[in-house]
Amino acid sequence: MGAGPDFDQIDREDVQKVREAGLMIHPYAVNGKADMKRLLEWGVTGMFSNFPDRLQAAIREHRQETKR
């Protein structure tokens, strides 16, 4: 179970509350790479985008950055 809010209607605190409740959070309509990276930093468990290639690149970069 989880939540699927509009990405521009949430903040880091919202993401944390959903995660602390043991739910997944997949914001929708995330099309900008900067937005994708910010949401990944906040801890979303997935997201919906019209640009899956851009999303995959953001995820890849986020993983590399968190390994450092």
Instruction: State the DSSP H helix or E strand holding residue 68, giving kind and residue range, or none if neither.
Output: none
Quote the pLDDT of residue 3.
96
Supply the range of the domain harboring residue 63: 2-67
What average pLDDT does this structure show over 10-29? 98
Quote the pLDDT of residue 67.
87
Report the predicted TM-score, pTM, of the whole model to 2 decimal places.
0.92
Q: What is the pLDDT of residues 21-58, one digit of tens each?
A: 999 999 999 999 999 999 999 999 999 999 999 999 99
pLDDT interval class at 1 (50, 70, 90): very high
Quote the pLDDT of residue 43.
97
**Amino acid letter, 24:** M
Specify the number of domains making up the chain: 1
**How far is 68 from 15, CA to CA, in rounded Å?**
23
